[in-house]
Amino acid sequence: MTAALVERQRIVILGGGTAGWMTAAALSKYLPAARFSIQVIESTQIGTVGVGEATIPHIRQFNQWIGLDETEFIRAVGATYKLAIRFSGWGEAEADYYHPFGLSGEDLNGLPFHQYWLWLRQHQQSDLKAFGDYSLAVLMAQNNRFRYPSADPREACSAFNYAFHMDATLYAQLLRRHCLARGVQWLDARVAAVHQHASGDIRALQLEDGRQLAGDLFIDCTGFAGVLIEQTLRAGYDNWQHWLPCDRALAVPSQPDPTPPVYTHALATAAGWQWRIPLQHRTGNGLVYASAYLDDAQASELLLAGLQEQALDEPRPLRFVTGRRRQSWLKNCVAIGLSSGFLEPLESTSLYLIQVAIQQLLACFPGDTVSEVERDHFNRSMELEYQRVRDFLILHYKLNHRPELFWRHCATMPIPDSLAQRLVMYRETGHLLEYRQGLFQPASWLAVMLGQGCYPERLDARLDNQRPDAVAEWLTGYQQQLQSLTHQMPLHSQALQSNQHPGSQPPAVQSLYGYRSRP
Amino acid sequence: MNMQIVILGQGLWLQVAAALVASQLRPWGVRCTAVEVPGEPEPGSVASGPELHGLCRLLGQSWQELLLKARGSFNLGTDYRDALTHQAAGAAGPARWFVPFGHLGLKSEAAEFAQGLFSYLAGQAEQGPEPYCLAALAAWQGKFAVPPANRTDLRDMLDFGLHLDRQGLCAWLRRFSERQGVRFVAADALFSAQTAQGPIASVQLAGGESLPVDFCLDCRPRTGVKSGAVMLQLFAGDPQQGPGKPCTSAERVPWGWLVRHPLANGCVWQTEFDPQVQKRDQVQAWLDGNLGALDWQLRSRQTSSPDEVWTGNCLQLGPVVETLDSPLLGAMGPLQALLVSWLDMLPNQASCPATARLFNGYWQQYREELNTYLTLHETPLETHTGRLFARLGRVPTAETDAVRPVQLMTMLYGLGLRPELPSRLLLDNEPAQVGAALAQIRRRLDTLVTNMPSHAQTLARCLDGRPAHPSY
Ligand SMILES: Cc1cc2nc3c(=O)[nH]c(=O)nc-3n(C[C@H](O)[C@H](O)[C@H](O)COP(=O)(O)OP(=O)(O)OC[C@H]3O[C@@H](n4cnc5c(N)ncnc54)[C@H](O)[C@@H]3O)c2cc1C
pLDDT tens-digit series, residues A313-337:
999 999 999 999 999 999 999 999 9
pLDDT at A149: 96
The pLDDT of residue A297 is above 50: yes
Q: What pLDDT, in 10s, does the model give residues A503-517?
A: 788 888 889 999 986
DSSP H or E stretch at residue B231? strand B230-238
Of all protein residues, the one whose alpha carbon is nearest to atom 47 of ligand 1 is A43
pLDDT at A23: 98
Which of the 8 DSSP states describes residue A265? E
How far apart are the CA of A447 and the centre of ligand 1, in A? 29
A16 annotated ligand-binding residue: yes
Residue B176's closest CA among B18, B7, B12?
B18
CA separation for the pair B252, B254 (Å, rounded): 7
Lowest mean pLDDT among A312-321, B139-148, B240-249, B411-420: B240-249
How far apart are the CA of A51 and the centre of ligand 1, in A? 7
Counting residues of chain A whose pLDDT is more than 90, the rounded percentage is 89
| Interface confidence (ipTM) of the complex | 0.92
Indicate which of B421, B428, B430 best probes the interface with A, i.e. most A CBs within 10 Å of its own CB: B421
Mean pLDDT score of chain B: 91
Contact B391 A32 (CB under 8 A): no
CA separation for the pair A156, A158 (Å, rounded): 5
Using a CB-CB cut-off of 8 Å, the residues of chain B touching A422 are 358
Counting residues of chain A whose pLDDT is more than 70, the rounded percentage is 98
pLDDT at B227: 61
Using a CB-CB cut-off of 8 Å, the residues of chain B touching A463 are 1
Burial B117-140 (b: 16+ CB within 10 A, else e): bbbbbeeeeeebbbbbbbbbbbbb
Q: What pLDDT, in 10s, does the model give residues B167-181?
A: 999 999 999 999 999
Contact B424 A362 (CB under 8 A): yes
Please, which pLDDT band fits residue B2 given cuts at 50, 70 and 90? Answer: confident
Longest dimension (CA), chain A: 79
CA distances from B122 to A500, B7, B427 (A): 46, 53, 15
Burial A346-385 (b: 16+ CB within 10 A, else e): bbbbbbbbbbbbbbbbbbbbbeeebbebbbbbbbebbbbb
Cβ proximity of A128 and A475 under 8 Å: yes
Interchain CB contact of A374 with B (< 8 Å) = yes
pLDDT at A467: 86
Q: Which atom of ligand 1 is nearest to the CA of A224?
A: 30
Q: What pLDDT, in 10s, does the model give residues A382-396?
A: 999 999 999 999 999
pLDDT at A319: 97
Q: Which atom of ligand 1 is nearest to the CA of A16?
A: 49
pLDDT at B196: 61
Query: Is the CB–ligand 1 distance for residue A53 below 6 Å?
Result: yes
How far apart are the CA of A250 and the centre of ligand 1, in A? 15
Interchain CB contact of A462 with B (< 8 Å) = yes
Q: Which atom of ligand 1 is nearest to the CA of A351?
A: 11
Q: State whether residue B31 is helix, strand or coil.
A: strand
Shortest distance between the Cα of B249 and any Cα of chain A, in A, equals: 31
Using a CB-CB cut-off of 8 Å, the residues of chain B touching A377 are 384, 388, 392, 394, 396
Mean pLDDT score of chain A: 95
Q: What pLDDT, in 10s, does the model give residues A368-379?
A: 789 999 999 999
Of all protein residues, the one whose alpha carbon is nearest to atom 33 of ligand 1 is A15
Shortest distance between the Cα of A28 and any Cα of chain B, in A, equals: 11
Contact B424 A381 (CB under 8 A): no
Interchain CB contact of B343 with A (< 8 Å) = no
Query: Is the CB–ligand 1 distance for residue A247 below 6 Å?
Result: no
Cβ proximity of B257 and B272 under 8 Å: yes
Please, which pLDDT band fits residue A2 given cuts at 50, 70 and 90? Answer: very low
Query: Is the CB–ligand 1 distance for residue A19 below 6 Å?
Result: yes
Nearest CB among A363, A377, A458 relative to B348 is that of A458
DSSP H or E stretch at residue B365? helix B353-378
The pLDDT of residue B472 is above 60: no
Query: Is the CB–ligand 1 distance for residue A125 below 6 Å?
Result: no
The arithmetic mean of pLDDT across residues A29-40, rounded, is 95
Q: Is the pTM of this model over 0.90?
A: yes
pLDDT at B241: 81
The arithmetic mean of pLDDT across residues A445-458, rounded, is 96
Known catalytic residue at A331: no
pLDDT at A461: 83
Interchain CB contact of A371 with B (< 8 Å) = yes
The arithmetic mean of pLDDT across residues A299-316, rounded, is 97
Interchain CB contact of B107 with A (< 8 Å) = no
Tell whether the torsion through CA atoms of A237, A238, A239 and A244 is positive or negative: negative
Please, which pLDDT band fits residue A519 given cuts at 50, 70 and 90? Answer: very low
Contact B427 A35 (CB under 8 A): yes
Contact B397 A436 (CB under 8 A): yes
pLDDT at B446: 97
* Residues facing residue B165 across a β-bridge: B45
Interchain CB contact of B60 with A (< 8 Å) = no
Mutate-to-test residue for ligand 1 from A23, A44, A46, highest number of ligand atoms within 8 A of CB: A46
Interchain CB contact of A107 with B (< 8 Å) = no
A331 annotated ligand-binding residue: no
Contact B354 A425 (CB under 8 A): yes
The arithmetic mean of pLDDT across residues B268-275, rounded, is 96
The pLDDT of residue A338 is above 90: yes
Chain CA centroid to CA B221, Å: 18
List Cβ neighbours of B76 (8 Å cut-off, separation of 6 or more). Answer: B100, B101, B102, B135, B136, B138, B139, B144, B158, B159, B160, B246, B247
Lowest mean pLDDT among A24-38, A62-76, A492-506: A492-506
The pLDDT of residue A443 is above 50: yes
Interchain CB contact of A222 with B (< 8 Å) = no
CA separation for the pair B23, B3 (Å, rounded): 14
pLDDT at B187: 87
DSSP-based helix, strand, coil % in chain A, nearest 5: 35, 20, 45
Please, which pLDDT band fits residue B226 given cuts at 50, 70 and 90? Answer: low
Query: Is the CB–ligand 1 distance for residue A56 below 6 Å?
Result: no
pLDDT at A4: 46
How far apart are the CA of A505 and the centre of ligand 1, in A? 29
pLDDT at B142: 97
CA separation for the pair B355, A432 (Å, rounded): 9
Q: What pLDDT, in 10s, does the model give residues B354-371?
A: 999 999 999 999 999 999
Please, which pLDDT band fits residue B92 given cuts at 50, 70 and 90? Answer: low
pLDDT at A490: 96
Residue B273's closest CA among B290, B287, B293, B289?
B287
